[in-house]
Amino acid sequence: MESPGTFHRLSGGLSPHLASSHAGAASQPARPVGRFHLLAVGFGLLTLIVLGQLVRYQIFQRDQAAASVVAEEGPTARGIMVDRDGVPLVVNRYFYQISATPRQLETEEARIEVARQLHDLIGLPYDHTMSVLTNYQDAYFAVLANDVSLTEAQKILDFKALQEKENVIYPLQQVHVRPTPRRFYPQESLFAHLTGFVRPDLGGVMGLEAYYDEFLRQDGAGLLGGRQDGLESLPEEVRRFVPSDVGKDLVLTLDRTVQWIIRDELAQGLAQYRAEAGTIIVMAPKTGAILGMVNLPDYDPNRYPEMPQERFPNPAISAQYEPGSIFKIITMAAALDAGLMEPSTVFTDTGYITVGGRAIYNSNRMAYGQVTATDALARSLNVVTAQVAQLLGPDRFYQYLRLFGFGEATNIDLSGEINGLIKTPQDPHWSLSDLGTNSFGQGLAVTPIQMIRAAAAIANQGRLMQPYVVQARVDGETVQWTEPVTVRQVLQPEAAQKLTEMMVAVVETGNTKARVPGYRVAGKSGTAQIPTPQGYVLDETIVSFIGFAPADDPQLVVLVKMDRPDPNINQWASNTAAPVFSRVMKRLLEHMNIPPESVQPVSLD
């Protein structure tokens, strides 16, 4: 629900918590939340704790012995990742490991000679080398140094080659130089939540590194079934770096410029409204390809041991929240598809409605009288939205929520996705009042990726797509392409088109700060309070805007979400998330060379 007195060509491819729908929408401020809210808040906190402990265990505690000087297994070489234009996002840097075979250095004199020569050649501390060789003198393998530079490694190799040429027996024969790959992320924090990172002795942690861990390993799994072509099927710019020397590479749907734009705008938005965290996602609605996904705060995967662990999970897929009024598009879509109303259907708004014994109000406690469904969506009226849910009835309403994919993972190819939380009539804690509040996005929990996928289905003539981040996997000379997957037809195309026009009216007459000059934009804002066990906090909100453009042929769907903007500046989505969306969409349309409607070519057919 929005602030009082306001109305509210591409075929490619933060912190977990819950928030309610608009402030004061359903009841008096700071009223006790129901058992669902307590369960949801508790579930969210438990999820955070479990995720935190898993991250701590996986990254910092598991198998501490793996760092032992006698560990024989080093990191396995991995393939690289590039964006859709071939820009490297994840590459390998090679350092060198110096090891020895202490068991073959049988005398103290031999050990002393090795320690002295390594000190003279590359400055390796004499005492350290002696300590390793002495303490592990029965071992067949012991690490003397890691991350040695090529220059230093070459000095050892040249000295050994000289000794061999002179055909003499020398202790340094038992010292070995081996290249060891280290992951490097040249874009630093820009793609951190998407790529994840690699711990040398563990493998992929988070994101694509974890999800495709077995494929990326040089000695890992190969390609499975699916469309496969030769390297010539890749764009020329991608073939600059692919295939890599490892030959197990990922070509992503992501666009570095898109990623930079949305991170720049999100950072500006958080600073402008003093919000704590935020997320922006960009999706191609016709395929489900993710073109960009940014969360702030983020981290630098090159320096993950120094980074706060709570930043590692990707909030776009692992943080659930109550979506608020953007969820009204789902309720309206269901009623249109079920044939229960038209955009012009008139409803009577008396300012409040009782559903299941709970009084539901509009956010500004005003009554608007006779309004059409389109007007109700533009004004973001809770009372009318609850009436629409009553027309649907519980069974049909929750059936559509499931069809849109809420309450289940989207199966995006990123590690760490959660299901969200939807309470249905089959749940013993569900009550009829939940039908009313769920209709405008209160009392249920979704993830940002679930919300944008649902909106993309509206933009895509009712077809729900499976989101994905990897466009192609490259194994040597073979390329396996990701084919877009239609999960199901959620709405009839006619219903999707009607709702699109309603959402255009929202932007034209309600959320006017989301407009993009020259384009018809469809969208909806949502301002959601954040529940606690004591009730909804009045001055803390989550603001979001979701929309797509051009409305007549949608190419981009964008979700903007910001957590806890400063109420002394503005806590309403129509004044915060909407203008950020406008700036993002304008820059993306320009970047994608999608012309304004006034200059788009006219068909001669």
What residue has token string 């996904």?
293
**pLDDT value for 599:** 52
pLDDT at 168: 65
Task: Write the CB contacts of 304 (distance below 8 Å, at least 6 apart in sequence).
Answer: 59, 197, 199, 205, 312
**pTM value?**
0.84
Percent of the chain with pLDDT over 90: 75
Does residue 344 have a pLDDT over 60?
Answer: yes
Q: How confident is the model at residue 75 (pLDDT cuts 50, 70, 90)?
A: low
Chain mean pLDDT for the chain: 87
The residue type at 403: L
Please determine whether the domains at 35-48+257-299+316-597 and 91-183 fall in the same fold group of CATH.
no
pLDDT of residue 37 exceeding 90: no
Determine contact, residues 547/499, Cβ cutoff 8 Å.
no
Q: What pLDDT was estimated at residue 71?
A: 42
Helix (H) or strand (E) holding 36: helix 35-56
Tokens 């037809």 locate to 489
Residue 24's pLDDT band (cuts 50, 70, 90): very low
Q: Is 404 helix (H, G, I), strand (E, B) or coil?
A: coil
DSSP code for 398:
H
- C-alpha 356/C-alpha 431 separation (Å) is 7
How many angstroms separate the CA atoms of 544 and 526, rounded?
A: 5
List of long-range contacts for 54-59, beta carbons under 8 Å, 24+ apart: 55/205, 55/309, 55/312, 55/313, 56/309, 58/199, 58/202, 58/205, 59/199, 59/202, 59/205, 59/304, 59/309, 59/312
Which neighbouring-strand residues pair with 277? 563
For the domain bounded by 91-183, which CATH number is listed?
Answer: 3.90.1310.10
- What share of the chain in percent tops pLDDT 70? 86
Q: Higher pLDDT residue, 19 or 151?
A: 151
Question: What is the pLDDT, as a whole number, of residue 598?
Answer: 65
Three-class SS state of 542: strand
Residue pair 391/340 in contact by the 8 Å Cβ criterion: yes
Q: What is the pLDDT of residues 452-467, one digit of tens each?
A: 999 999 999 999 999 9
H or E element, residue 543: strand 535-549
pLDDT in the model for residue 101: 92
Average pLDDT over residues 32-48: 48
Mean pLDDT for the stretch of residues 427-446: 95
Cβ 258 vs Cβ 187: under 8 Å: no
Q: Which residue has the higher pLDDT, 227 or 108?
A: 108
Whether the CB-CB separation of 561 and 544 falls below 8 Å is answered with yes
Distance CA 151, CA 100 (A): 19
Which of helix, strand or coil describes residue 428?
coil
pLDDT at residue 89 tops 60:
yes
Q: What's residue 382's pLDDT?
A: 97
Give the pLDDT confidence score for residue 536 in this predicted structure.
Answer: 82
| Spans of all domains in the chain | 35-48+257-299+316-597, 91-183
Checking if the pLDDT of 84 tops 60, the result is yes
Average pLDDT value for residue range 147-175? 86
Q: What is d(CA 366, CA 350) in angstroms, rounded to the nearest whole number?
A: 8
Is the sign of the CA dihedral 199, 202, 207, 208 positive or negative? positive
> Residue 406: beta bridge partners?
none
Nearest to 237 by CA among 87, 81, 79: 87
Of 585, 518, 521, 581, which is closest to residue 551 (Cα–Cα)? Answer: 521
Taking CB atoms within 8 Å and a gap of at least 24, the contacts of 106-111 are: 110/171, 110/174, 111/137, 111/171
Q: Are 4 and 361 in contact (CB under 8 A)?
A: no
pLDDT at 41: 47
The fold of the 35-48+257-299+316-597 domain, in CATH, is Beta-lactamase (3.40.710)
What average pLDDT does the segment 512-540 reach?
90
Cα–Cα nearest to 157, from 176, 144, 138, 133: 176
pLDDT given for residue 146 in this prediction: 86
